[in-house]
A and B are shown apart, each in its own frame.
Chain A
Amino acid sequence: MIRRRQIFTVAEFEFLSIVRTKGYVFSTLGLPAMLLLYGLFAGWLGESLKSQIEGGAKVFGVVDRAGVVDLRQDQQGTLLDLPAEVRGAIESSGVGVEAFGPVAYFTDTVFRGFDDLDEAKAALLSEEVVAFAVVPDDFVAAGAIDVYSIDGFSLPRRTARENMAKMLQEQFLQQVPAEVRDRIRDPVSTTREWVVDAAGVVSPDDVAARILRFGVPGAFILVFLISLLTTTGYLVQGTATEKENRVVEVLLSATAPEEILAGKLVGLGAAGLLQVLVWFSMVIAAAVLAAGVAMAAGVALPVKALVVGAVFFLAAYFFYGAIMLGCASFGSSQLEVQKLAGFWTILAAVPMMFLPVIMNAPHGTVARVLSLVPFTAPLAVLGRVALDPEGMAWWDLSLSLAALTLSTWLALRFGARLFRIGLLAMGSRPKLREIWRQARLAK
């Protein structure tokens, strides 16, 4: 008989002691805040970098011994192949040709011709150019150029070199008919996708919708797994404490091991769940903004997946939690405990490997089998439901849940036995055979 009062006492204690730690508060509230700040910062940084780069064009010298470049005057981004009327329209609108990124292909670099090496060197030393390139006689055959600069790592020099390649490409493109120039620059610019179904009906494949349809379940499963791992992580962390400060010795004189196990599972599970909820509500708050977009793309909110996810999350948490606690109780230090539980953490993540299989055939044999194996069931079922909410029959779902519930119950019982032995095995770690013997004897 397990006393609910005792479980509650332990659970309340465990919950409060983890929730009050700085680490918990930080990862619950701080992490999303940090991510937000980071996003803002990255955005700002990107903007400011862009404006810096666009700020001033760098001058790049060229000594053309091969005679492939026409640099009688400085070159800086041209609209080589725009039809005359388009070019005229743009220029007359006052926007400036630079506004058209792909066409104005090297607006941040000015190429300036030099007659010989010494002249270019002098320009480099007087900082007139950031770098210069020598195009040797045999360039057309060999494709090699020599680049000279003062500081070998400067960023402007790097982009200038890329632009140099583009400029050369454009120069060579002048030698082929105008119609094929674009195809050489970008051989396949768009792909239109079509799907042919079993009846031979051809319909356009909506890439955006497909990404959302696979992306949402994928993200969902990832969040599920991360939540599971953080929550069980708290569990493991909480076991070492008692072993290290030897409080179990007293705790066990007031409370049965099963009650401690249950209390820890409930208390730390609640702490983990709270964290997941906070994260989720932040994500949902952010998603509300993007929701309109998703709806437009024909993605329904995965309500069924959310419900199934919550139920299976609890079952998975208790399943893995009980086993992990049982094993972790044999460690006598933080490090040992982590090692003992680490195996199960890895095992919990393994189903991710099967995800492609499940995505391919959500209701195929592999997916069905994985849904019945307790170690893989939570992720497998979640993946199936998220991918194809209507495809998984209720009986199918119930069968999986029944199998997982049964396994969880067994895991709880087995975990409690291990926990009892582990907690009592102070100091020396008992031999495997001894553990097995006691696990069978324990009532």
Chain B
Amino acid sequence: MIEVDGLRKQYGDLVAVDGVGFSAGEGKIFGLLGPNGAGKSTTISCMSGLLTPTDGRVRIMGHDIVHEPRAAKQQLGVVPQELALYEDLSARDNLTYWAAAYGLSGTGLRDRVDSVLEYVGLLDRASDPPKAYSGGMKRRLNFACGVVHEPKVLLLDEPTAGVDPQSRARLLDLVRAQAAKGTSVLYTTHYMEEAQELCDSLAIIDHGKLIAMGTLAELRAMVGERDLVRVVGHFDPERIRPALAELPDSEVLTADQDSVMLAVKGAALQLPAVLQALAAAGGHLRETTFTEPSLETLFMKLTGRELRE
């Protein structure tokens, strides 16, 4: 059980996290989707007790992270965005240290370390140090370190950053398996595909604020039935906006000199009209794409920017 309420973190004048609140029950995966610098890692650091929140509260299995840090942390597993491994120690030694730090000992510790190594598929490479691992293997070991003590709550900060599709699929399976065991998972990412594929409910964060939250279906509904149309070329934004405004069931999300972005209902049918209007307004078109309603569209609609710039 994760409960976050009115969380706020300030670095000097910069408000990195601004009134974030959400919750995730047992066995649920909550996704936090946002671009670079949105405040995802800061949120996780506040939740894991690494940072003291400026305001708001975080409860892990009912324990306040600030006031009962020990009880809360005992239930908590963290997989940081940056690899946190002793590069020169074997994978087994790395895991053994974390397990011991979380209070395991003796044969219980050894068994647990072996089973986690098997779980992430690294048992046959257990004696090798991470510096001899591939990027995907390091990520899996990093993940293993976060779950070695079987936490009830798991905080994952972009655990798939920079890995190949194969390792990514494997990591996502591991996350699902954790949730299936009843663990509450917070999963941050800036890949909307991952969020769509994995999460029971999710929130979109930008500039420290949650700008949308709900289940995938709820969020899709917010976008409406509209597709996302993107046209690249050379435009005069001043002339384009009024020209496009006359089109039915469409909304200009962004318009600048090089590209125009619209939310359009039934784009397949409307596309000719859109292109015509653009050309009539003096635009030079080079490339057009349109996509079905997605979190990407929602993010664009809410912020006027692309998720990955």
- Contact between B87 and A245 (Cβ–Cβ < 8 Å)? yes
Contact of B82 among A5, A246, A251, A254 (CB under 8 A): A246
| Contact of B98 with A by CB under 8 A | yes
Contact of B86 among A12, A241, A254, A424 (CB under 8 A): A241
| Contact of A76 with B by CB under 8 A | no
| Contact of A9 with B by CB under 8 A | yes
Contact with A along B36-64 (1 / 0, CB 8 A): 00000000010011110000000000000
Q: Give complex CA distance A161, B166 in Å.
A: 82
Q: Give complex CA distance A10, B102 in Å.
A: 11
Q: Give complex CA distance A348, B87 in Å.
A: 33
Contact of A247 among B69, B84, B103 (CB under 8 A): B84
**Given A241-B86, A245-B86, A250-B84, A13:B50 Cβ within 8 A:** no
The minimal Cβ–Cβ distance linking A362 to chain B, given in whole angstroms, is 48
- Contact between B145 and A250 (Cβ–Cβ < 8 Å)? yes
Contact of A13 among B87, B97, B103 (CB under 8 A): B97
| Contact of A75 with B by CB under 8 A | no
| Contact of A138 with B by CB under 8 A | no
The minimal Cβ–Cβ distance linking A425 to chain B, given in whole angstroms, is 10
Q: Give complex CA distance A192, B39 in Å.
A: 82
- Contact between A250 and B146 (Cβ–Cβ < 8 Å)? yes
Q: Give complex CA distance A13, B99 in Å.
A: 12
- Contact between B100 and A9 (Cβ–Cβ < 8 Å)? yes
Give the residue name and chain of the B residue nearest to A249 (CB).
B80
- Contact between A246 and B80 (Cβ–Cβ < 8 Å)? yes
Contact of B78 among A17, A253, A256 (CB under 8 A): A253
Q: Give complex CA distance A332, B101 in Å.
A: 23
B100 proximity list for chain A (CB < 8 A): 9, 12-13
Interface centre among B73, B87, B101 (most CB of A within 10 A): B101
Interface of A is mostly: helix
| Contact of A28 with B by CB under 8 A | no
B77 proximity list for chain A (CB < 8 A): 253
- Contact between B101 and A9 (Cβ–Cβ < 8 Å)? yes
**Given A250-B145, A250-B146, A253-B73, A245:B84 Cβ within 8 A:** yes
Contact with A along B200-226 (1 / 0, CB 8 A): 000000000000000000000000000
| Contact of B255 with A by CB under 8 A | no
- Contact between B101 and A254 (Cβ–Cβ < 8 Å)? yes
Q: Give complex CA distance A253, B157 in Å.
A: 14
Contact with B along A231-246 (1 / 0, CB 8 A): 0000000000100011
| Contact of B281 with A by CB under 8 A | no
Contact with A along B69-102 (1 / 0, CB 8 A): 1100100111010111111010000000110111
Give the residue name and chain of the A residue nearest to B49 (CB).
A253
Interchain pairs with CB closer than 8 A, number: 59
**Given A10-B101, A250-B98, A253-B78, A424:B50 Cβ within 8 A:** yes
The minimal Cβ–Cβ distance linking B280 to chain A, given in whole angstroms, is 51
Contact of A17 among B48, B85, B89, B98 (CB under 8 A): B89
**Given A253-B49, A253-B76, A253-B78, A246:B83 Cβ within 8 A:** yes
Q: Give complex CA distance A12, B51 in Å.
A: 27
Q: Which of A249-281 contact B (CB under 8 A)?
A: 249-256
Interface centre among A5, A250, A424 (most CB of B within 10 A): A250
Contact with A along B94-135 (1 / 0, CB 8 A): 000110111100000000000000000000000000000000
| Contact of A333 with B by CB under 8 A | no
The minimal Cβ–Cβ distance linking A188 to chain B, given in whole angstroms, is 63
- Contact between A250 and B89 (Cβ–Cβ < 8 Å)? no
A246 proximity list for chain B (CB < 8 A): 80, 82-84
- Contact between B76 and A245 (Cβ–Cβ < 8 Å)? no
Contact of B50 among A9, A12, A245, A253 (CB under 8 A): A253
Give the residue name and chain of the B residue nearest to A6 (CB).
B101
B149 proximity list for chain A (CB < 8 A): 254
Q: Give complex CA distance A424, B100 in Å.
A: 22
The minimal Cβ–Cβ distance linking A436 to chain B, given in whole angstroms, is 16
The minimal Cβ–Cβ distance linking A57 to chain B, given in whole angstroms, is 60
- Contact between B103 and A5 (Cβ–Cβ < 8 Å)? yes
Interface centre among A6, A9, A13, A251 (most CB of B within 10 A): A9
- Contact between B80 and A250 (Cβ–Cβ < 8 Å)? yes
The minimal Cβ–Cβ distance linking B241 to chain A, given in whole angstroms, is 41
Give me the interface of A with B, judged by CB distance under 8 Å: 5-6, 9-10, 12-13, 17, 241, 245-256, 424
The 7 closest A-B pairs by CB, nearest first: A254-B101, A9-B100, A247-B84, A250-B84, A253-B78, A246-B84, A253-B48
14 further A-B contacts with Cβ under 8 Å, apart from A10-B101, A252-B50, A254-B101, are A9-B101, A13-B100, A17-B89, A245-B85, A245-B86, A247-B85, A249-B50, A249-B78, A250-B84, A252-B49, A253-B48, A253-B49, A254-B73, A424-B50
Give me the interface of B with A, judged by CB distance under 8 Å: 45, 48-51, 69-70, 73, 76-78, 80, 82-87, 89, 97-98, 100-103, 145-146, 149
Q: Name 12 interchain pairs, CB-CB below 8 A, sorted by A.
A: A9-B100, A9-B101, A13-B97, A17-B86, A246-B80, A246-B83, A247-B84, A249-B50, A249-B78, A250-B80, A253-B73, A254-B102
